[in-house]
Each structure stands twice: as C-alpha cells, then as structure tokens.
Chains A and B, each alone.
Chain A
Amino acid sequence: MSVKFNRREFFRRSSAAGVVAGAGAIAAKGQAHPPGWAGTQRVEEIATNCEMCFWRCGVLAEVADGKVLKLSGNPAHPLTEGRLCAKGNAGTSLLYDPDRLKYPLMRAGQRGEGKFRRITWNEALDFFTARLKELKSKYGPESVALFPHGVASTWFSTLMRAFGTPNAAEPAFAQCRGPREVGYALTFGQGLGSPEPVDLAESKLIVLIGTHIGENIFTSQVTAFAEALSRGAKLIVVDPRFSTAAAKADWWLPVRPGTDIALLLAWINVLIAEGIYDKDYIARYAQGLPELSSHVKEFTPEWAETITELPADKIRATAHAMGQAKPAVALHPGRHATWYGDDTQRSRAMAILTALLGSWGSKGGIFLPTPLKTGKFSLPPFPESKRGRADGAGTRYPLASEEQGVTNGLVDATVAGKPYPIKAWVVYGQNVLESIPRRENTLRAIEQLDLLVVVDVLPMEQVNYADLVLPEATYLERYDMPQIAESAKTPYIALRQPAIEPLYESKPGWWIAQQMARRLGLDDYFPWSTPEEHLKKLTEPMHVNLGELRAKGAVAFAGRPYIENRLREDGPLFPTESGKIELYSPLLKQLGFDPLPRYVPVADPPLGFFRLIYGRAPVHSFARSQNNAVLDALMSENEAWINTQAARDLQVSEGQEVVLENQDGARSLPIKVRVTSGIRHDCLYMVHGFGHQSRALRLAYHKGASDTNLMTRVQVDPIMGGTGMRVNFVRVLTDLESGQMG
C-alpha cells in the first residue's frame, strides 16, 4: 500500500507523553533519606516507584541491614499520594521469591526441556555478543528482533537500534493500547499516553466501556473514581459482565459483546438529533459535523436495540445524561482495546462522542498533557535499515506505531521467514507465550530461531525455550529510566532507584544493555556511566533539586490541563492535518478505510459455545504476579464465570472443575466454575494470567487456566495491526478425563 502522508509527522504529533529515550545508571548508596520506622526500629527509607504493574505508583521502601522490610505508599508522590494497591504492597514477595532467576543460564537440553547450566556474566555476554555478530554477518542486523516491555526496555531499544535492526515490538501496542492511541490521534491529533489523562476527579458523569476500574487497579485512577462517585458523579458502565464498577453504576448496560460501536453510534445519533451536543465547542474546534450528522441519521436507539440487546429508552436516557453533564463527562478511553479487530474504529467512535460532549481539554473530561523539557545526550544517528521493518508497521498496517511495533507481525514474519529471515529474539520484561495470542504460532516462530535470549526476573514458561537466560534485578534493586509523566494532571518526574543491591547475580537492565553495547562497539550510544551523570543531563532544563528528587522520589510541576490554560509553547491544540478535531477523517479516507465509524457485525458464538472474555483481578498483574506468595494466598486460581441459567442448562455447579475447549479444539487446564447472574448468558469470563506451565514457578504452576491458550484466533485490525482477541469461543467439558491436557 502506498501511503501519501507523513507517518513520522503523524506520530511525532500524536505521541502524547510519557516515553523519553535516554539513559540511566547506578548511584552510590547512602543518600540522605529521611529516617523511617519499622516497629520501633529506625530504618532507612528509599523513595522509588512500583513495577508490580505499569502505573508506577510512588513507593517507600523501608530498608534495614540490606533487607527491604516493608513497602508502603509514598505520600510525596504527586499522582498516587501514598496509596498503594495489594500488588504494590506485596512487592517484597517478588523481591524475595525463592523461584527467582539467580544466575545467567545457558541451555543444556532441548528447547522447552528447561535444562540449563549456570554460567558467569562474562560467558553469558560474550556468548550473546558472538551470536549477534554472527547473525549480523550471515543474515544482516534485521534478523535480530526485540520484544521489549516496560520502562527499562528503553536501554534494549537503544541497543538494538544501534545494532542496526528496526525490528522491535511490544504488546503494549498491538495487544493493548494501540487502537486507542491511533483512534484518538486520528480525531484529536494526539493519543492519550499513560497515565490516562481522564479527569475522573472533576467529572459529573463517568462512562466506562469495558473498562473495569476496581478490578483493574491503577491506584490513583481508583482513588479518583471512588472520590467522584462519593461526590455524586453519575456512572454509566457498558460491560457484558456485572463488574465491580457495574455494581456501583447508575446505569449498567450489559451490551451484547461486539456491538459497542452500534451503541456509540446511537448515542451520537441522539446527541445530534436532539441538538444536545456542545454546539459552541464543535463550531469552534471541529470539522466534519455535516458528514457525521448524515452518517448517523439512521442509527437510532431503536436500531441499536436490536443489535446491542439494550433497551432503546436506556440508550436514550444515558445519552441525555451525557448531554446534561457535558462537558464534564469522563468517557474513559479504555486501555486494553484490542477486542474485535474493529478497535481503531470503536476508539474513533469514542473520540467523536468525547468531542461532541466538548470534553477533550475540559474540566471533568479528558485533560491535556503538559510538555516538560528534558535534557538529552546527543547520540549518533541510528543506522537506517535498507530492508525496512518486518512487522508490517507502516506498510501492511499503515497506522501502526513504529516506536512500539506490531508483535504479531514480527511473530508471523519469523514463522514465514518473510520479508526476510528473523533468526534471533531478545525478549525483555514480558512472557511472549502469554502476552501474544496464538501461542502455537509463537512456538512455531521460536522453532525458527537460532537464538532466543530472555531477560527476566522469574522463570516464566518462555525461559524453557531460551538459549540464554539473563537474570534481571527487580525494580527494588535497580535504576530505571526516570518517569516523565506529562499526561498527569500535575506533571512530574519520578525516580526508580534501588532500595537494595541486586540479590544473587541478578543485574539491572541498563547494566546488561550497556555491557552489550561495549562488547558490540556501540559505546557511543551509551555516553554515560553514573546515575548522577544521566539524571543531571535529563533534568538540566527542569531546574529540579536532585537531592530533593532522590529523597522524595518525585517532583511535580504546574500542569496546564485545560484548553483555557494552554500556552503558545504547548503547540497547537489539535495537531491534526486540518488543525481541528477531525470528526470525519480525511486520513482514513485517503488510506481506504471508513472515514466515519460503522458498525460491522462480528461472528456470534456457535451453538453450545460461549464467547470467551477476560479481564483483571485487583490482586494480580498480567501473567506475572501469580507466583507471588502473598498474592497467591489472596487469589491462587481463576474461575470460569458462567451465567446462572446457562450453568443450569449445562448442569454445572458452583466450584465444579471443568475444562474449556475452544472452536479449534484447544483445551484449558481444569478451571473451577463460578455460577453467577452477573454475566450475560452468551459469554464466559475469566481473569487473565493463570494456568502457568512453567514448573519452575513452584507456586503458580498449573493453578487455574490460561485464556491466552484458548486464543487460537485473532481478528487483526487492518488499520494498525492490533489483534482482536474476543473472537474466540469456548464450550464447557465436564468430563475431566477427556479434558486432560496432552
């Protein structure tokens, strides 16, 4: 596909906040921290931030004699103000998890066998370097692909780009936020970033579409959500499941899965037909209203009722509630947005609705990021690849982010050896077998590799397939790239700094990447050696007191969250091509996609099958916290939620162990049934992240079932390459013999 617009420009404009390229390093210990207490004992208190998930809440680590005694929330943190969730509070159980990867390991058996021998770091890094050089000369540098995730992945991204490969892809895009970022960027000229700039605290009405705040715990977001409800803000929850949030809602809309766009179009229809959208705002800031008006004319609540199975009067009533509360409507853009493959268009519909309510840049709606000036080392230019990316970002998937890449595109390219062979994967901070759907495909890709290097804290299943395993220090033992949170209402810089020295022979990610750079002769891309050096450079234009930053963990700046606060230096309000909110998207039109979102039916479950839906529990993060002893004690396995009537029809009862089989015959580990009226009859829900298959995770092994293993199909979003994952169907097998895993 030939694309006649400036992609680079699109993404330069649209990357909202949060990510800064650069470098960090380790500090001498013994900074002047304020004293803390453990019981009656004086201890040192280190301010850092959490990595039990990606929200990076402020943490205080109480340390005595080189041991972290306790973690608690850091009251000085501008975003989380001393609050910390169950996972954050349980961080020491990750630090002291006896199953941690302790030493560099070299594979000693067959791939998948999990047999390794302990080697030294020198051996490990020499081996890694030699293999990379060999692959480079044999297949070119592009044959090496990086699968990064998380803050510290910055170092590996820099390393790999310097090495000469454009192939890096993280699940945060194509398995998570990608469609949302693209959908909002198409409309407003910029995406949302993380933390999400949703002004829950000031909202009069909160709208959640599939977002399950409460089970999905990002501390400050939960706080703002709860405070808003307590203040009297109304709540609309669209979810086929009676979630924690739904139980607090004024309107719970148990939508038929896959029909969200129909609901959104009907809401838009009512707002326009009844003239209750924000007319001044639209007249001033938006283009494309006439096209939108005629597009949605036929999408009445009555039309939507037959599709969504939601009563037309409820659709109308909720639209009226939005019209009344505007612009203080916090329509949450969601986070994990890869559902049905039409996800960019659903995000577009949400963005359009947000615009009609005048909420973007308004108090109680979506606030604006505040740019912070940071210092940067000048790095040599990265080598340009003549062969281009293998994952389809920018070509097959025209609006995929080149910064974040398309994981599934890279997996497919590895399997096919096209457009060129991919022979090595470097995996950092994620478990590719759980984070990317179509596990069998991922395993097929791994079979094609000459080299799989895994940098991880715990022996996740993928470690069994690795040639080289590099044990990383946990977030409590390392420096990471400081967080520059521009998308927070009060923007801030926050440090992640070690509370203690790394245990065993684990090493921080930055150190591993820096060492590799030295061995590969790429020192110029890592022009720093101490944390002071790097931090000083980064913060040069910020005028922060570094001593204060280290002691408090974070320093905040004044935000300019609303349109009326904006300064000229903040750049254009709506950095789209037209400089206006694009209700109608000329860019999508140009690329051959619908310029206005349309509802296209998704396949229904076949008879006897449920649609598999999934989500989070408040005490676990992804598939990475199940081996944490404290969290395991709170929730050691997931359950299959089945509607009461459906369970009766199937003759399954509460607590009964069943096996789930999907449309392609993939089977789950045994999972217990939760019989509940809190879910629609046509879907089955489970919490993501369970059913670990690594025996080395002694606590988590074979507890509960993995939803990812039942995702043998995906519906790829043609606009940006995201994998819609809610297109898998499962039936319930009650005969456990037949359901045994092979």
Chain B
Amino acid sequence: MARYAMVIDLKKCVGCQACTVACNSEWEVPIGHARTHVRATSVAGNFPNLLSTFYVAQCNHCDHPACIALCPTGATYQAEDGIVKVDRGLCIGCGYCVEACPYEARYINPVIKKVDKCDFCSARLERGQEPACVETCTGHAKFFGDLEDSRSDVFKMVYEQGAGRLETSEVAIGPNVYYLGKKEHVNLVLTEFPPHRPRMPEAGTVWEKVVKPLVLAAVGVTFLGQAAAFFRQLMKGESLFEDEGEK
C-alpha cells in the first residue's frame, strides 16, 4: 500500500502563493480561507547577514493524526494510503478537529458549514493527475509521491537528501509533509511556525444542537474512536444531514 507524502523544497520556493490560489480554485475554497497557505518568516540576523524563507502549510496527513481522535462523528478518518480525509456526509462542523490540528491546516467552510482541508487532491489522484498545488508550483518546489516507492522523488528527498519533518519535542505526530533546504532555513520555519499542542476543545455548542443525545452520551466517554464508529453506524440508518458538500 502506498504512503503518500509531500516534500517542499525551500531552496526553490519563492513564496508566490500560486499553490494557494490553484487549490482554492480547484476546491472552491471561499475567499479568505485556504487549504494550503504560504507565510514568510521574519528576516533574522543582522544586516547584511540575513536569513529568511517561506513556510508552506497544509494538512500533513500525520502518522498519528490528532484530528481523528477528536472527531465526534468519525467524519475524519485516515485512508490506507495515509491520506486523512473528511467524510462531508458525516461532518457536523463542530470544529474540534480545527482546534486539534497542531498545524492549523483545517478550517470550517462557511458556505457548507463543514470542515475542509487538503486531501492531497484525492479526486485528481484518481484521475491520474498530480495535486493542483504541485502542478502549478512556479518554482517546481512541491513534490508529491509515495514514500514506499524507492523510485519516487519524495522517497529520495526524504531518505537520501534529508528532507525533514516539522516536529518538536512537544509535538511529534509524524507529519508527512517534509521540508528540504538549508538547515538554517528549516530551523527558522520550525522556530517561527512550530506545531502547537493539540487543543482539547471545550464542549462545543454546534454539535450539541445537532447530535442526538444518544450519540452525545457515547461521545461523552473517552473512547472517542468507538463513539465515532458507533455514530458511523447510526448514520447509515438515518440521514441527519443534508449532503450539500460534494460538487
């Protein structure tokens, strides 16, 4: 089975945000939101010995995703190829996963009122295309591929050229977006945009209104995964939500 990953080459990235716009356009992301976004670091050092680079952020499709455990409905799940996906039919837009994600890769889409995030352009992959951001990248700085395929670019970049993960001693959940570049550039990104500890949400008001008491009770216990499985099953029988998510 494949293990999909991305590598961002900081030597090549010019921070042009073509990826952001291509993605927004591909996935009809409402203006003001993004599945992938680019931030410039500050300028570090003393004139004229300066340092700066860009941080390209998106869902990291982590080995141990913090978002899944917190999803009360099981809408967020991980496919066998490692891609973390959201089943819009199940998502209730509670926003717990948004809080949980250490990389701030998720947002609530205000149009469909459900969570949205990068899924490595799964629909495009099925059609044999690359993710939209990779295809459009002006610096050819973004690479997508299978980490279990030793012939892939990403395999070489990760296992031979030393592309690294944005992890800290506090947060190490196995992100699958890797960063290649000068050590000082990668460190600068990590210093300025460190993953934050997953935030455990307060009782959300959104899904309290929507979810049946039965489910609430189940979610109330700590075995969120079980609750999610339960909820999934429940959903099969009855339609609580209008499916307005898919195009």
User: A217, B31: Cβ atoms under 8 Å?
Assistant: no
> Which residue from chain A places its CB closest to the CB of B44 in the assembled complex?
A677
**Residue from the list A83, A225, A227, A643 in contact with B136, Cβ < 8 A:** A83
Is A213 among interface residues, defined by CB-CB distance under 8 A? yes
Q: Which of the 9-residue segments B22-30, B77-85, B101-109, B223-231 touches chain A?
A: B22-30
Q: Please, which residues of chain A bring their CB within 8 A of the CB of B215?
A: none
Chain A's nearest CB lies how many Å from the CB of B102?
Answer: 24
Evaluate contact between A678 and B52: CB separation under 8 angstroms: yes
Interface residues of A in 60-86 (CB under 8 A from B): 70-73, 82-86
Inter-chain CA distance A630–B26, complex, in Å, is 13
B141 touches A618 (CB 8 A): no
Closest to A254 in B: B48
668-685 of chain A: CB within 8 A of chain B? 676-678, 680
Interface stretch, picked from A38-46, A121-129, A273-281, A503-511, is A38-46
Q: Which B residues lie within 8 Å of A40 (CB)? A: 123, 247
Asked if B45 is at the interface (CB within 8 A of a chain A CB), the reply is yes
Check: A214 CB closer than 8 A to any chain B CB.
Answer: yes
**CB contact under 8 A between A226 and B18, given known A72-B135, A242-B43, A677-B46:** no
Determine if A211 is an interface residue (Cβ-Cβ < 8 Å): no
B64 neighbours in A (Cβ, 8 Å):
none
CA distance A663 to B86 in the complex (A): 58
Contact A619 B16 (CB under 8 A): yes
> What's the nearest-Cβ distance from chain B to residue A490, in Å?
17
Query: Is A89 in contact with B138, judged by CB distance below 8 angstroms?
Result: no
Q: Which of B46, B127, B138 contacts A219 (CB 8 A)?
A: B138
Contacts of B31 in A (CB 8 A): 629-630, 633
Q: A13-21, A173-181, A244-252, A417-425: which one contacts chain B? A: A244-252
Is B32 in contact with A86, judged by CB distance below 8 angstroms? Answer: no
Q: Are A83 and B140 in contact (CB under 8 A)?
A: yes
Question: How distant is the Cα of A618 from the Cα of B20 in the complex, in angstroms?
Answer: 12
18 A-B pairs in the complex with CB atoms less than 8 angstroms apart: A70-B25, A71-B25, A73-B135, A73-B136, A82-B136, A83-B136, A83-B138, A84-B138, A85-B16, A89-B18, A90-B21, A214-B15, A217-B138, A219-B18, A222-B16, A226-B138, A254-B47, A631-B21
| Complex Cα–Cα for A90 and B140 (A) | 19
Which of B6-14, B166-174, B233-241 lies at the interface? B6-14
A90-B25, A230-B9, A630-B21 known; A618-B16 Cβ under 8 A: yes
- Interface footprint category on B: 35 or more
- Cβ-defined partner of A84 (8 Å) among B22, B47, B247: B22
Rounded to whole angstroms, the CA-CA distance of A89 and B24 in the bound complex is 9
Are B22 and A72 within 8 A (Cβ)? yes
- Is B14 in contact with A213, judged by CB distance below 8 angstroms? yes
Provide the residues of chain B in CB contact with A222, threshold 8 Å: 14, 16, 138-139
Q: Which residues of A contact B247 (CB under 8 A)?
A: 38-41
Evaluate contact between A247 and B123: CB separation under 8 angstroms: no
Chain B hits for A83, CB < 8 A: 18, 135-138, 140
For B14, the closest partner residue in chain A by CB is A214
- Chain B's nearest CB lies how many Å from the CB of A452? 34
A50 → chain B, closest Cβ, in Å? 12
- Nearest CB of B to A251, in Å: 10
Choose from A86, A226, A246 the contact partner of B12 (Cβ within 8 Å): A226
Ranked nearest first, the 7 interchain pairs of A and B with the lowest CB-CB distance are A214-B14, A226-B139, A226-B12, A618-B16, A89-B21, A39-B247, A678-B43
CB neighbours of B21 from chain A (8 A): 86-87, 89-90, 619, 630-631, 634
Q: Which residues of B contact A644 (CB under 8 A)?
A: 47
Find chain B residues with CB under 8 A from A245 CB: 14
With both chains docked as a complex, state the minimum distance between the C-beta of A44 and any C-beta of chain B, in angstroms: 17
Residues of chain A with a CB closer than 8 A to B14's CB: 213-215, 217, 222, 225-226, 244-245, 618
Q: How far is the CA of A84 from the CA of B135 in the complex (A)?
A: 9
CB distance from B51 to the nearest CB of A (A): 7
Chain A proximity of B13: nearest CB distance (Å): 8
A314 and chain B: residue at smallest CB distance = B48
| A593 beta carbon closer than 8 Å to chain B | no
CA distance A225 to B21 in the complex (A): 21
Interface: B50 (CB within 8 A): yes
Asked if A634 contacts B135 (CB within 8 A), the reply is: no
Pair A227/B15 contact, Cβ less than 8 Å: no
Query: Which residues from A are CB-within-8-Å of B24?
Result: 89, 630
- For window 227-247 of A, CB contacts with B under 8 Å fall at 227, 229-230, 242, 244-247
Can you name 4 extra interface pairs (CB under 8 A) apart from A39-B247, A214-B15? A83-B137, A229-B12, A242-B48, A247-B50
Shortest Cβ gap from A214 to chain B (Å): 3
Closest to A635 in B: B17
> Complex: how many Å from CA A629 to CA B42?
26
Q: How far is the CB of A616 from chain B (nearest CB, A)?
A: 11
A587-617 CB contact bits vs B (8 Å, 1 = yes)? 0000000000000000000000000000000
Judge whether A223 is part of the interface by a CB distance below 8 angstroms.
Answer: yes
- Interface members, chain A 617-654 (any B CB < 8 Å): 618-619, 629-631, 633-634, 643-644
Contact between A86 and B20 (Cβ–Cβ < 8 Å)?
Answer: yes
B23-74 residues at the A interface, CB under 8 angstroms: 24-26, 31-32, 42-43, 45-48, 50-53
- Find residues 189-233 in chain A having any chain B CB closer than 8 Å to their own CB: 213-215, 217, 219, 222-223, 225-227, 229-230
CB distance from A252 to the nearest CB of B (A): 6
Q: Is A157 an interface residue (CB 8 A)?
A: no
- Roughly how many angstroms separate A631 CA and B26 CA in the complex, as a whole number? 16
Residues of A within 8 A of B20 (CB): 86, 634
Residue contact B132 to A72, C-beta cutoff 8 Å: yes
* In contact, A85 and B12 (Cβ under 8 angstroms): no
Chain B contacts for A38, CB-based, 8 A:
247
B50 touches A678 (CB 8 A): yes
Q: Quote the shortest CB–CB distance from B123 to chain A (angstroms).
A: 7
Roughly how many angstroms separate A431 CA and B12 CA in the complex, as a whole number? 34
Least CB distance, A157 to chain B, in whole angstroms = 32
Nearest neighbor of B30 in chain A, beta-carbon distance: A633
Q: Does A37 contact B (CB under 8 A)?
A: yes
Kindly report which residue of chain B lies nearest to residue A38, judged by CB atoms.
B247
Q: Does A308 contact B (CB under 8 A)?
A: no
A230-B11 contact, Cβ under 8 Å, with A634-B17, A678-B50: yes
A73 to chain B, nearest CB (A): 6
Asked whether any CB of chain B lies closer than 8 Å to the CB of A92, the reply is yes
From A214, which residue of chain B is reached at the shortest CB distance? B14
Nearest residue in B to A41 (C-beta to C-beta)?
A: B247
The reply to whether A677 and B138 form a contact with Cβ atoms under 8 Å apart is: no
With a CB–CB cut-off of 8 A, which chain B residues contact A254?
47-48
Binary CB contact string for chain A from 32 to 57 against chain B (1 if under 8 A, 0 otherwise): 00000111110000000000000000
**Are A84 and B48 interface neighbours, CB within 8 A?**
no
Bound-state CA distance A245–B132 (Å) is: 25
Question: In whole angstroms, what is the CA distance A252 to B47 when docked?
Answer: 11
With A and B bound together, what is the CA distance between A676 and B22 in angstroms? 30
Contact partners of B127 in chain A: CB under 8 A: 37
Residues in chain A near residue B53, CB distance under 8 A: 247
Tell me, rounded to whole Å, the shortest Cβ–Cβ distance linking B22 to chain A.
Answer: 5
- Give A39 to B246 CA distance when docked, in angstroms: 9
Determine how close the nearest CB of chain B comes to the CB of A206; give it in whole angstroms. 13
In the complex, A38→B47 CA distance in Å?
49
- Inter-chain contact B11/A677, CB cutoff 8 Å: no
Of all chain B residues, which has the CB nearest A81?
B140
Residues of B close to A229: CB separation below 8 A: 11-12
User: How many Å lie between the Cα of A421 and that of B73 in the bound state?
Assistant: 76
Q: Are A248 and B138 in contact (CB under 8 A)?
A: no
For residue A253, which residue of chain B has the nearest CB?
B48
A227-B140, A629-B31 are contacts. A619–B17 as well, Cβ < 8 Å? Answer: yes
Bound-complex Cα distance A246 to B137 (A) = 20
> Which B84-124 residues sit within 8 Å CB-CB of chain A?
123
In whole angstroms, what is the CA distance A242 to B139 when docked?
19
In the assembled complex, the Cα of A511 lies from the Cα of B142 at a distance in Å of 42
A235 vs B90: C-alpha distance in the bound complex, in angstroms?
A: 51
> Of A226, A631, A676, which is within 8 A of B43 by CB?
A676
How far apart are the CA atoms of A92 and B26 in the complex, in Å?
12
- Roughly how many angstroms separate A39 CA and B245 CA in the complex, as a whole number? 12
Note all chain A residues with C-beta closer than 8 A to B16: 85-86, 214, 217, 222, 618-619
